[in-house]
Structure 1
């Protein structure tokens, strides 16, 4: 409907018709998404979004500034950037917030906090974002890439630096689709985007260069696009591993004499430091006294790097990667690797109990498993990122019988015991249960733990009644790999000393919107199993 033009006189019937046309125009202009939804409008696919966006990143919204709305009712948001998938050059020329511009409780994340413009109410076809949530953002820039490439005289291309302000280029939400500038992060979406951009999945991490005392690992991925330099990002990554002290570390591979290659044991073909254990090995045993003498620690840690063999044959029994039995052959403690890992232990009354970590499924790939055994709990840190804790019932003075046997495979009198089959690269025992935290470092997560996010809905004016309830099943889908050491100079990934917060979404009322500005209210806290690692 054109503004500023006089309307002709209409009859009563025509007036009613014009009135309805006017209402439809209002719907289109003010609430365009409603009309699209009535016509069964569907957002464009991730593939098209990825192709259309100039910059694609993932990150966590720290706060939204709804009181700073622009003429089109959009607002900016402060985002803690976790990763860049597309548009590295553009992103590198964007300026992060200064320390003074970041809320005091989040200034330790400088310079990785960016202010991104043009978020808004979904009723107006903008992408709305919520503090404390993790998103994939589809962005453009101001000046746009087209502006940066335009010719100054029709022939020469303008240098990017001449088009930027002293603050650099600005990042803006790219609204190529209705509410399509952001989607909530999950691992599958990230993998899909990387696949579209030409990257194949990362290979497994290599063996750690040291069994203790801080080694390193690398992994690689392949770009399958034919165009040179078509894939943005690093093809190789590097991280620290086994950063715990070497004192009192028991290497069970050596204690069990795997390096002597007993029957059924040979080198693993993919790793020269790993051993392949076949069914011919049966059970590999050693007296427990050879590990800790006459006194076995009450609390300890077991670190495993293993690729178990998955077999379809039944009645193979219980494949123990590590098992302790007493002098009579009765099971005291064991780590069993079947479809899922489990811990078997002797309870106060002498009966056996099995604790299954059912949320962690094993397959024929390399797995990092660190078990922390304490007085009344056992914690599994799986693949250096997922943490599971279960309660155990045992005496405060209960210890493993030093006169018994330690083995890979079943015990002498173990019920339904069987041999272990698979590749073992690391099998380490320590008398410090906290060692489990340092199998792979750093263990900080690039996204906050969703368990710490409140399910309080944001102001109704901003989400228009959307379902913002918290889904516990998404907790482990929203955990990234640990932070990575990068060995290239062009990386945009987070440095080693970056620790991401846990968040609590603010309880904001409509009246208190301007005062709160949608900011987070809970200072960042670290999970109890995570330690901050800083550069020296």
Structure 2
């Protein structure tokens, strides 16, 4: 049985500061109902408040990010008002909030549900508003008839700037919006990158490479079982380094999927002569943990990653200044930690191990000789594309080519 959580736009509670949801509405209304009652719905950053206001009305300017509903109405309004990406919305205040306007000068990410009013429909009046988050975004699109997004595809290249896409399909005759999102990925230099899964020397694969399982729905990925792993001396990967070893400041980028709750090591640096010195990235259920063990002690950094959804995830971390750890999860900064053992201890006889006692799918595992590359694994900014030639069939998404395909693809916003 599916349990559905209903989120309401207006929450009635005592506020110390000011939220637009609290100030403008007097009743609770769901996202789905708010969308049905509005002719225009969009996502935008609240950028400024018009100081001249009546006791009941005020205007907030929004920087437009995404239009969910009423795109033609908004386009006509923007042309008449000479606005490109800025929209001014009139709000009716139903609750007193004397400190609201000063505090809302800080930009915030909202979904606004509104109607155009007046003789020439030149006033955009908000009916409801909610803070934007991924769940709210998905609910709006679902109410408009769209399926969930597919996983992001593999990056088109392992380094030097590629692209990846995800796709969705319309579940009704026609849907407002776009069906493809695209972003840049693997923006780090090829000269600094070692793609470990692209190694072709069979002696480093256990068992032999011909017994490794490919992933059926992802041609570039491998399915690892508990007895599948790669074991390679670091000197083989970094022969040009002065010490012939993995650098003390580096980045790791990986793309992974877990189909069942699991434990195991994804990546590990270990000394052959001093077994108590190692750096290890391990799976613990839905999360990851980075363990750094040295003679001075052991650090354990837990990384919330939400890996228990059977979806592909992109994880990257960088070590800079020899002891500062920057972590990114699915293209967003997650945390920065200081390793208490003061510095990364990389032994001269270092081995790299991938996948020991780990069960799951790996599509990317790259070491980059840069302490800034984690943020370059994938961009958090996406390009919306409307492509009528991509349609959903029983066999999945298919491209129905036209004579001039470029003309059928429209970049949005």
* Same fold by TM-score greater than 0.5: yes
Cα 1:54–1:95 shift into 2, 3 Å: same
In structure 2, the residue matched to 1:121 is 93
1:256–1:284 CA contact under 8 A, matched in 2: no
> Equivalents in 2 of 1:487, 1:439: separation in Å?
25
In structure 1, the residue matched to 2:11 is none
2:76 pairs with 74, 79, 93, which one? 93
> Equivalents in 2 of 1:189, 1:395: separation in Å?
42
Cα 1:245–1:409 shift into 2, 3 Å: closer
Name the one with the larger strand percent. 2
In structure 2, the residue matched to 1:251 is 195
2:294–2:345 CA contact under 8 A, matched in 1: no
> Equivalents in 1 of 2:79, 2:301: separation in Å?
47
Structure 2, unmatched stretches of 5+, are: 1-25, 388-408
1:101-152 per-residue CA deviation (whole Å, 9 max, x = no partner) reads xxxxxxxxx8321222x21322389xx87332322111112457xxxxxxxx
Cα 1:135–1:409 shift into 2, 3 Å: closer
Match status 1:170 vs 2:170: no
1:315-356 per-residue CA deviation (whole Å, 9 max, x = no partner) reads xxx51111111022444111112221111112352x333211
Name the one with the larger helix percent. 1
Report how far residue 490 of structure 1 moved: 4.5
> Equivalents in 1 of 2:248, 2:227: separation in Å?
33
Cα 1:275–1:171 shift into 2, 3 Å: farther
> Equivalents in 2 of 1:65, 1:218: separation in Å?
39
2:346 pairs with 400, 419, 440, which one? 400
2:258 pairs with 300, 303, 308, which one? 308
Cα 1:199–1:487 shift into 2, 3 Å: closer
Within 5 Å, give how 1:498-509 maps onto structure 2: none
1:97–1:113 CA contact under 8 A, matched in 2: no
1:427 pairs with 365, 368, 388, which one? 365
In structure 1, the residue matched to 2:21 is none
1:96–1:113 CA contact under 8 A, matched in 2: no
In structure 2, the residue matched to 1:137 is 112
In structure 1, the residue matched to 2:400 is none
1:264–1:278 CA contact under 8 A, matched in 2: no
Cα 1:124–1:330 shift into 2, 3 Å: closer
TM-score (norm 2): 0.77
Farther-moved stretch of structure 1 (253-262 vs 319-328):
253-262
1:308–1:423 CA contact under 8 A, matched in 2: yes
Match status 1:112 vs 2:11: no
SS at match of 1:95: helix
Within 5 Å, give how 1:279-358 maps onto structure 2: 279-281=226-228, 283-293=229-239, 294-311=244-261, 318-328=263-273, 329-339=275-285, 340-349=287-296, 351-357=297-303
Cα 1:210–1:290 shift into 2, 3 Å: same
> Equivalents in 2 of 1:331, 1:210: separation in Å?
34
1:161-195 per-residue CA deviation (whole Å, 9 max, x = no partner) reads xxx6xxxx6351243xxxxx222333322222211
> Equivalents in 2 of 1:251, 1:487: separation in Å?
33
Cα 1:124–1:344 shift into 2, 3 Å: closer
> Equivalents in 2 of 1:271, 1:399: separation in Å?
36
Structure 1, unmatched stretches of 5+, are: 1-40, 100-109, 145-163, 176-180, 313-317, 411-418, 444-481, 494-536
Cα 1:98–1:53 shift into 2, 3 Å: closer
SS at match of 1:381: strand
TM-score (norm 1): 0.60
Report how far residue 98 of structure 1 moved: 8.4
In structure 1, the residue matched to 2:319 is 373
| Aligned pairs, number | 351
> Equivalents in 2 of 1:332, 1:311: separation in Å?
25
Report how far residue 272 of structure 1 moved: 0.6
Cα 1:331–1:337 shift into 2, 3 Å: farther
> Equivalents in 2 of 1:272, 1:401: separation in Å?
35
2:223–2:362 CA contact under 8 A, matched in 1: yes
Q: Compute the RMSD of aligned alpha carbons.
A: 2.8
